[in-house]
Chain A
Amino acid sequence: MSNHFNRRQFIKIAGMGSAAAGLAASGMNPWGWPANALAGSLGSDVQVIPTFCELCFWKCGINAKVRDGKIIKLEGHPKHPLSNGRLCPRGNGGTGLTYDPDRLKKPLMRVQKRGEDVFREVSWEDALDFTAEKMLDIKAKHTADCLALFNHGYGATFIKTLLMAYGTHSIAAPSYAQCRGPREVGFELTFGEEVLSPERTDIKNSRMLVLIGSHLGENMHNTQVQEFADAMANGAKLVVVDPRHSVAAGKADWYLPIKPGTDIALLLAWMNVLISEELYDKEYVEQHTYGFEQLKQHVKSYTPEKVWKITGIRPALIRATAREMGHQKPAVLIHPGRHVTWYGDDTQRSRAIAILNALVGSWGRKGGFFYPGELDVPMPELPKFPPMTKKRADLQLKDYPLAFSTLASGLCDATFPAPQAECQLKGWFVYGTNLFFSLPKPEQTREALQHLEFVAVSDVLPMEIVGWADVVLPDATYLERYDDLHVGHYRDPFIALRQPVIEPLYDTRPPWWVSKELAKRLDVADYFPWDNIEDYLQQRLTPMGIKLSDLKKDGVKVFPRQALYFEDGVQPEFYTDSGKIELYSAKLASYGHDPIPVFTDHGDPPEGYFRLLFGRAPVHTFGRTTNNRVLNRVIDTNHVWINRRIAEQWGIKNGQMIRLQNQDGAITNEIAAKVTERIRHDCVYMTHGFGHKAKGLTNKKGASDSDLITRYNTDPIMGGTGMNVNFVTFVV
């Protein structure tokens, strides 16, 4: 019986048993502290300090429980609107980051060739002097814009201020062009507003939820998953479109195992049914949208019968799901997804999702998309930042007028010599993003790094990118530092405080301190007009009538809820050219793009190859957490999902260690095969973030999909890098 569960089997499946054995035998807990099992996390000797999480970028409120100067547990902050007293597994395991023995503990300077990962320990004074000297040198020789900042995470706030004060505009996070950028552009073009993070999706009130490749539940953004569970418990209908039978698909009323790369065809067919059967929200469409007649003409040819041949989804299923949308409207949420850089026509797919939402009238409606609460917390007055004098570095080689944020991939490209470039990047400052895992084409990143005059990296762990630094600035973890206030715009607006819950364990410094110290050396100290971070935070809180000492106790201050939907008072205003929801985009047409999304065939894998798809495990955030010893007790490696029939053809057994090789000959570390019916025959799937090679990281298990992403399709609208265009074969 498959439900006769054996824990030994679990231990094997979850990969828990291995390196842990030695520790277990010695009777020590992971950190070697005395056990206090009777009291657990309770007791008068436990101090509870509120702050917010940084294990991912959702920023849930937490209560840290500290005993004898050690963090014993992290719990969800009961009043924080993003955690509601509960935490995802990563948030629960946050101590595994702070107490990771592999952490960067001292500032470092390179002593051998760049990339050889050999350093000597230096003082902060020396590290900062060297960094400032190099930055001033680049500014004098090439202008400030030739220094790029790659960043991710809330710690980067002050670093960004520093770099803007220094004068560069070459500032990018891979979360745009490598992640959710196309979605924001697609929704901006349609509704005049972005989806934002956290997403303004009213999941808990949805009557019908449609997930397209989005794997909520494996993708553990806390509040979204809380609401997903509420929606399921309330009997909301669920459609899951995914080549892989995900956890979410396991809860679906309709599971549509679509052929990868054909989602736009399905979306157009749904529109076809909604319009031809007159099931769309007529009043809403008439009142609020522009271009309905063009859309009607456009989707006529995308009949369910035609789209069946493209997607593999039977016409009856396309019609049944479309009719259910018509029946449940307007509380129908076609979820915009988050990591959406798949095939290069991702802005158009996001447009198609936006248009479908418009047809069921869900934008600005209960159970669809709400209007986030507004809260203005003024920034202290600073001198003006130096103006931009050159073309944006990321757009030098190819212009994307609709790329509203800087493209991290574009900055990498601008590091190579090019005759037409006004500014070849000469320096990289990298904060909190391991570019070998976050940018496509790791080989290109490696080459780019060799063209640079200066590379500074600030991180908590010795990630691959750290090995390429000239100077390493070891970061304090989120549990050891203050950051800027988090002004949250969810249903309820709020202000949350990040504060240290323990003294720093090592000779690390928080980003606010590093920025302020570098500012002195770069002659821009007037952008940091405060003595210490607490003064700065109080300066920001004073106009809001909040005392820092109170916020230190409470962690979060929630402000009154405002209108969320059109029906409770939000004015339906759309910041598009037409002032309406644009089903037809004249702006796209004027730039030479399709004004209404068109299906493009992304081809089939060559014989013997399979399309590489990747996603997330619930206990990990990309490659950032895969060295975390607490989280790794549950999942410490990845598997490659292979369709059972294909595995049989290849003679691959479940659990067998194989390697993956892509169309360009790139080959991975060994990875265990997961042989399953739960994935289509034409693709394979793995979770992202494993297969580290950096010498300072303990966990190198699993394989990295990044190694296989040697190609991408560039989104012609906003420059996003569609990465699901690589094909792999098995090396058995």
Chain B
Amino acid sequence: MARYGMVIDTKRCVGCHSCVISCFLENEVPEGYTRDWIVEVVSGKSPDFRMELRSERCNHCDDPPCVFVCPCGASYKEEGTGIVLVHKDKCSGCKACLAACPYNARFINPKGYADKCTFCDHRVKAGLKPGCASTCPTKAINFGDFDEPGSELHRLMEGRVVKTLKPDAGTKPQIYFLL
């Protein structure tokens, strides 16, 4: 049993888009769509700006609204990994999940099914890290199992200010950002 997730260090991230481009190729993401993206938030006035760079994707929530609303049983949270996935064959492309996701993480693949980040489950199941985490030049994206004793993910969060996206939505995201 595992509970996979990510700890993403905004202090390391430079917003270079290596994660996005490697994902395009690893997952053959159709042109015009993306499964991960960079958010740049700048506040303050010169010279005292504050900048936050985040590599974002599906949060693989513990309480995933996309799964709850799916009328076809296509969206599911995988037993044993916690990865939120879509059965392409069951999906009708109704977009209920797109509306339910507070993170705009999903899109309808031109082939007709809901598509989004899978944590590269095909790689994870082969003992590898997701494409984005593997290539990230700054090691900002860290992937692992929160349930593993002594997990690197917990060590990374020690002593750091940690946030998840839209905690008020009650989705219990499994991606944590270090500020």
CA distance A50 to B110 in the complex (A): 34
Knowing A3-B39, A7-B37 touch, does A88 contact B32 (C-beta < 8 A)?
Answer: no
Interface centre among B18, B30, B165, by most A CB within 10 Å? B18
Q: Are A7 and B47 in contact (CB under 8 A)?
A: no
Provide the residues of chain A in CB contact with B26, threshold 8 Å.
40-41, 73
Does the CB pair B31–A233 fall under 8 Å? no
Most chain A CB neighbours (cut-off 10 Å) among B17, B20, B56: B17
20 A-B pairs, CB-CB below 8 angstroms?
Answer: A6-B104, A7-B107, A21-B32, A41-B131, A42-B122, A73-B26, A76-B135, A87-B22, A89-B16, A91-B18, A93-B25, A216-B14, A225-B14, A229-B12, A229-B137, A247-B53, A250-B51, A257-B47, A634-B17, A677-B46
Task: Give the complex CA separation of A232 and B160 in angstroms.
Answer: 14
Closest chain B CB from A210 CB (angstroms): 16
- The answer, yes or no, to whether B90 is at the interface (CB within 8 Å) is no
Q: How many residues of B contact A (CB 8 A)?
A: 61
User: Do the beta carbons of A220 and B24 come within 8 Å of each other?
Assistant: no
Residues of A within 8 A of B105 (CB): 7
Among B28, B105, B134, the most chain A Cβ lie within 10 Å of the Cβ of B28
User: Is B11's beta carbon under 8 Å from chain A?
Assistant: yes
> Please, what's the 1-or-0 string for A490-520, where 1 marks a CB less than 8 Å from any CB in chain B?
0000000000000000000000000000000
Chain B 156-176 near chain A by CB (<8 Å), digits 1 or 0:
000000000110000000000
* Min CB gap B125→A, angstroms: 9
Does B96 lie at the interface of the complex (its beta carbon under 8 Å from any beta carbon of A)? no
B8 to chain A, nearest CB (A): 12
- B45-64, CB under 8 A of A: which get 1 and which 0? 11111111100100000000
Q: Are B20 and A86 in contact (CB under 8 A)?
A: no
Which of A36, A222, A633 is packed against the most chain B CB atoms within 10 Å? A633
Stretch at the interface among A27-35, A462-470, A578-586, A695-703: A27-35
The 8 residue pairs across chains A and B that have the minimum distance between CB atoms: A250-B51, A217-B14, A229-B138, A20-B32, A24-B32, A27-B110, A618-B16, A20-B31
- In the assembly, what is the distance between CA of A76 and CA of B19, in Å? 13
Query: B47 to A619, Cβ gap below 8 A?
Result: no
Partner of A24, one of B16, B20, B103, B110: B110
- A226→B139 contact, CB < 8 A: yes
A613 to B38, CA, bound (A): 25
Q: Once the chains bind, are B17 and A619 in contact (CB under 8 Å)?
A: yes
A670 to B165, CA, bound (A): 37
B31 near A40 (CB under 8 angstroms)? no
Interface flags for A211-230 (1: CB within 8 Å of B; 0: not) read 00000111010100110111
Give bound CA distance, A8 to B32, whole Å. 10
Q: Which of A1-60 contact B (CB under 8 A)?
A: 2-8, 10-11, 14, 16-17, 20-21, 23-30, 33, 35-42
Q: Is the CB of A677 within 8 A of B104?
A: no
Tell whether B27 is near chain A: CB-to-CB under 8 Å: yes
Instruction: Write the chain B residue with the least CB distance to A8.
Output: B104
Residues of the A chain whose Cβ atoms lie less than 8 Å from the Cβ of B135: 75-76, 86-87, 92
B18's partner among A27, A73, A88, A95 (CB-CB below 8 A) is: A88
Cβ–Cβ contact B27 & A677, under 8 A: no
Interface residue A265 (Cβ < 8 Å from any Cβ of B): no
| A247-B137 contact given A2-B43, A217-B15, A634-B17, CB 8 Å threshold | no
Please state if B32 and A225 are interface contacts (CB–CB under 8 Å): no
Q: Does B136 contact A (CB under 8 A)?
A: yes
Give the distance to chain A from B99, nearest Cβ to Cβ, in Å: 13
A658 contacts partner chain B, Cβ-Cβ < 8 Å: no
List of B residues within 8 angstroms of A619 by Cβ: 16-17, 21
Q: Is there a chain A Cβ closer than 8 Å to B1's Cβ?
A: no
* CA gap between A86 and B30 in the complex, in Å: 24
Q: Which residues of B contact A460 (CB under 8 A)?
A: none
Chain A residues in 8 Å Cβ range of B46 = 245, 257, 677-678
Interface residues of A (CB under 8 A from B): 2-8, 10-11, 14, 16-17, 20-21, 23-30, 33, 35-42, 72-76, 85-89, 91-93, 95, 216-218, 220, 222, 225-226, 228-230, 232-233, 245, 247-251, 255-257, 618-619, 629-631, 633-635, 677-678
**CA of A176 to CA of B31, assembled, Å:** 38
The residue of chain A having its C-beta at the shortest distance from the C-beta of B9 within the complex is A233
Answer yes or no: B69 CB below 8 A from chain A CBs: no
Residue numbers in A under 8 Å from B18 (CB-CB): 86-89, 91-92
Residues of B within 8 A of A36 (CB): 28
Q: Given the complex of chains A and B, what is the CA–CA distance between A722 and B178 in angstroms?
A: 41
Q: How far is the CB of A394 from chain B (nearest CB, A)?
A: 36
* Residues of chain A within 8 A of B128, CB atoms compared: 42
A618 and B131 contacting across the interface, CB-CB below 8 Å: no
A28 with B138: CB separation less than 8 A? no
Known: A35-B28, A618-B14, A630-B24. 12 other contacts (CB 8 A): A40-B120, A41-B131, A86-B134, A217-B15, A225-B16, A229-B137, A245-B46, A247-B51, A618-B15, A633-B20, A677-B49, A678-B49
Minimal Cβ-Cβ distance residue in B for A248: B14
A38-B122, A92-B135, A228-B14 given; A633·B41 CB < 8 A: no
Which among B13, B31, B52 has the highest number of chain A CB atoms within 10 Å? B31
* B110 surroundings in chain A (CB, below 8 A): 24-27
Contact B21 A631 (CB under 8 A): yes
Q: Which residues of B in the span 79-132 have a Cβ within 8 Å of any Cβ on A?
A: 103-105, 107, 109-111, 120, 122-123, 126, 128, 131
Q: Is the CB of B131 within 8 A of A256?
A: no
Whole-angstrom distance from the CB of B137 to the nearest CB of chain A?
A: 5
From B25, B136, B140, A72 is in contact (CB under 8 Å) with B25
Residue in A closest to B105 when the chains form the complex, CB atoms: A7
> B33 interface residue, CB < 8 Å from A?
yes
Contacting residues, chain A, for B103 (C-beta < 8 A): 5
Q: How far is the CB of B179 from chain A (nearest CB, A)?
A: 12
Chain B residue at minimum C-beta to C-beta distance from A60: B137
Which of chain A's residues has its CB closest to B163's CB?
A3
Q: Do the beta carbons of A42 and B123 come within 8 Å of each other?
A: yes
State whether A89 and B31 are in contact (beta carbons under 8 Å apart), knowing that A39-B122, A232-B11, A247-B15 are contacts in the complex: no
Expressed in whole angstroms, the Cα–Cα distance for A16 and B17 within the complex equals 13
Fill in one digit per residue for B132-150: 1 if any A CB lies within 8 Å of its CB, else 0.
Answer: 0011111110000000000
